[in-house]
Amino acid sequence: MKTFNTTAVCIPSKHYMVDLSERVREIKELVDDGKYFTINRARQYGKTTTLTALDMALSAEYDVISIDFQDVTDADFENENEFTKGLSQMLCDTKDSMDIPIPNKYYNQFQELSDKKEKTKLNDLFRIFDRWCKENQKNIVLIIDEVDTATNNQVFLDFLGKLRSNYLKREKNAKYRTFQSVILAGVTDVKHLKSKIRPEEDSKENSPWNIAADFTIDMSLSEDGIKGMLNEYEADHHTGMDTGAIAKSIREYTNGYPFLVSRICQLIDEEVSKTMSLSEAWTNRGFDEAVKLLLAENNTLFQSLTKNLNNYPELKAAIRSILMEGTKLTWNPDQDDIVQMQMYGLVRNEHNTVRVANRIFETRLYNLFLSDEELKNNVFSREGELAKNQFITDGKLNMRLILERFIVTYTQVCGPLKDRFKEKDGREQFLLYLKPIINGTGNYYIEAQTRDQTRTDVIVDYLGQQYIIELKIWRGERYHADGEKQISEYLDYWNLDIGYMLSFNFNRKKEQGVKRIQVGEKVLFEGTA
């Protein structure tokens, strides 16, 4: 029986996975056109799985040489001699273990180069490449995975320079044969690496890989693709799930990030099904439980996320500003911080605006930033923890009572609102209060589509039930009426009849508390702090 896989390569015969045939077809078109290019995506974004599928698709027409720089040691990059011998030995080892199509004639030449006692040069390696490409019956495609290992080493840049030189020779002379295509895969986009002159000098702007074609193929998993994977699972297990609805939820939370998609499915199948029937596990309730488990674990993807933020404080500050303050950051591909955030998979370009890559990352980062606030002042989280048993009746949240009690706590702690008050202050404090109430049972996230400097919608998923709470600063009756209309329309999207509003009001004569308002067919509980 197949399983969902979140480690190493996904294999169609062993694992439930999204059909990659269309993606592979698009990449093959680049190969057929003789393009050299990079596939640079964040960690656990399905690069190696895609390359494995690509290798199989190309093998009928080309001889494909796939090597993995994860197997290269730091010593192999020490100088030109070590790199040449190390890469030669890697090619031999790969042929021995993976049976890649290196003719014995050239296998022996690589082995001789690796064993050579005298110093070797890149030119020695490329002479073998030249003869091999010239005499081989099929055109040869070279794929190198995990190139990030090499990107800080001058000898690797020199290697790219030799590949570039041969590519240009082919462009000038159609009779010259070299690699049909070279594909480099990793997190780093080596297309933009700068060539070093000497160790003590600055880099020059001219990249040794500036001949690479742009790689614009979408590597995320589509809703239809996820549904197809779930249909295959359903055919095996007969759970009765609505594959379209579950696929939609998975896509909305992950934005198609391959690891997150597979991990949610894996958690439903292997963990959530331990606490409820398999049929119930593949419902909204089971999905919410899987998201809760995912957000609570310390997997390698989240470790990488946190590491990158800690290593780059300016990135962390930018992400925090986007999330906590609703800052609108215009997408600029020439801005180094934005490029880095995208490279690490933290953000995406949405309508020319920087957005956190997906809802899972958003919530994980919210939890991180809120934990920082808890360390400074845990009054709201403590009060929420103390009162949480009051807010749950028959498995449902009493959101009206949560608003009422939060307003009381807020007034006691903060007193009258000051002009320096920012929406993010209220948002943080409300979420600090809310977290312990739903923690362990429900999830929350901030709706990116409605978040701006004027309003924020908090979406709470609790045992399959959604609660929409709009947070905003009071700016007068007219603005407030517009807000009521907006949330009413937003409730339609969620097929909900009841919504909640929380306004932070500067007026001294304001009427604090929560009141029930009818807006058309919708009921709103409006709280004023």
- Considering just the CA atoms, what is the radius of gyration of the chain in Å? 28
Domain boundary among 254, 269, 296: 296
Q: How many Å from the N-terminal Cα to the C-terminal Cα in the chain?
A: 56
Which of 25-34, 282-291, 324-333, 360-369 is the least confident region? 324-333
- Kindly state whether residues 440 and 517 are assigned to the same domain: yes
- Kindly state whether residues 395 and 292 are assigned to the same domain: no
If pLDDT is split at 50, 70 and 90, which confidence band does 286 have?
A: very high
- Provide the pLDDT for residue 453: 47
Here the CATH number for the domain that contains residue 150 is: 3.40.50.300
Mean pLDDT of the 261-277 span = 97
- Kindly state whether residues 26 and 171 are assigned to the same domain: yes
**Which residues are paired to 456 by β-bridges?**
471
- Kindly state whether residues 393 and 523 are assigned to the same domain: yes
What distance in Å separates the CA atoms of residue 147 and residue 382, rounded to the nearest whole number? 47
CB 364 within 8 A of CB 295: yes
- Kindly state whether residues 389 and 336 are assigned to the same domain: no
Residue 519 lies in a domain: yes
Residue 389 lies in a domain: yes
- Among 128, 163, 154, residue whose Cα is nearest residue 38: 163
- Provide the pLDDT for residue 151: 83
Where is mean pLDDT largest: 28-32, 43-47, 406-410? 28-32
Query: 64 by DSSP, 3-state: which?
Result: strand
Which of 223-237, 265-279, 420-434 is the least confident region? 420-434
Mean pLDDT of the 330-349 span = 89
Domain count, the chain: 4
Phi, psi of 383 (to 5 degrees): -65, -40
Residue 147 lies in a domain: yes
Percent pLDDT > 70 in the chain is 93
Residue 16 lies in a domain: no
Residue 1 lies in a domain: no
CA–chain centroid gap for 422, Å, is 30
Q: Is the pLDDT of residue 521 over 50?
A: yes
Query: 501 by DSSP, 3-state: which?
Result: strand
Domain hosting residue 122, numbered range: 21-204
- Kindly state whether residues 190 and 90 are assigned to the same domain: yes
Mean pLDDT of the 333-351 span = 89
126-147: per-residue pLDDT in tens? Answer: 999 999 999 999 999 999 999 9
Angle, helices 359-376 vs 300-311, to 10°: value is 60
Percent pLDDT > 90 in the chain is 59
Parallel, antiparallel, or unpaired for β 392-393 and 513-519?
A: unpaired
- Kindly state whether residues 117 and 235 are assigned to the same domain: no
What distance in Å separates the CA atoms of residue 466 and residue 375, rounded to the nearest whole number? 29
Average pLDDT, the chain: 89
What distance in Å separates the CA atoms of residue 410 and residue 421, rounded to the nearest whole number? 13
What distance in Å separates the CA atoms of residue 387 and residue 381, rounded to the nearest whole number? 10
- Kindly state whether residues 99 and 184 are assigned to the same domain: yes
- Among 137, 131, 133, residue whose Cα is nearest residue 113: 131
- Among 383, 453, 374, residue whose Cα is nearest residue 413: 383
Q: 429: which residues sit within 8 A by CB, 6+ positions away?
A: 380, 410, 414
Q: 111 or 505: which carries more pLDDT confidence?
A: 111
300-332 in b/e burial notation, b at 16+ Cβ within 10 A? ebbebbeebbeebeebbebbbebbbbbeebebe
The H or E element spanning position 474 is: none
Which residue, chain included where needed, has tokens 């020490």? 78
Mean pLDDT of the 331-353 span = 89
- Kindly state whether residues 269 and 342 are assigned to the same domain: no
Q: 453 or 232: which carries more pLDDT confidence?
A: 232
Mean pLDDT of the 44-54 span = 95
Q: Is the pLDDT of residue 206 over 70?
A: no
- Provide the pLDDT for residue 197: 45
- Kindly state whether residues 333 and 454 are assigned to the same domain: no
Residue 512 lies in a domain: yes
Residue 196 lies in a domain: yes
Which of 5-19, 191-205, 218-232, 500-514 is the least confident region? 191-205
- Provide the pLDDT for residue 429: 86
pTM recorded for the entire structure: 0.86
What distance in Å separates the CA atoms of residue 264 and residue 41, rounded to the nearest whole number? 20
What distance in Å separates the CA atoms of residue 1 and residue 403, rounded to the nearest whole number? 48
Mean pLDDT of the 346-350 span = 91
Residue 444 lies in a domain: yes
Which of 58-67, 285-294, 416-425 is the least confident region? 416-425
Q: 90: which residues sit within 8 A by CB, 6+ positions away?
A: 67, 71, 72
What distance in Å separates the CA atoms of residue 74 and residue 497, rounded to the nearest whole number? 61
What distance in Å separates the CA atoms of residue 495 and residue 462, rounded to the nearest whole number? 16
- Kindly state whether residues 252 and 189 are assigned to the same domain: no
Phi, psi of 28 (to 5 degrees): -60, -35
Q: Is the pLDDT of residue 200 over 70?
A: no
- Kindly state whether residues 399 and 503 are assigned to the same domain: yes
If pLDDT is split at 50, 70 and 90, which confidence band does 122 have?
A: very high
If pLDDT is split at 50, 70 and 90, which confidence band does 422 have?
A: low
Parallel, antiparallel, or unpaired for β 347-350 and 353-356?
A: antiparallel
Mean pLDDT of the 271-300 span = 94
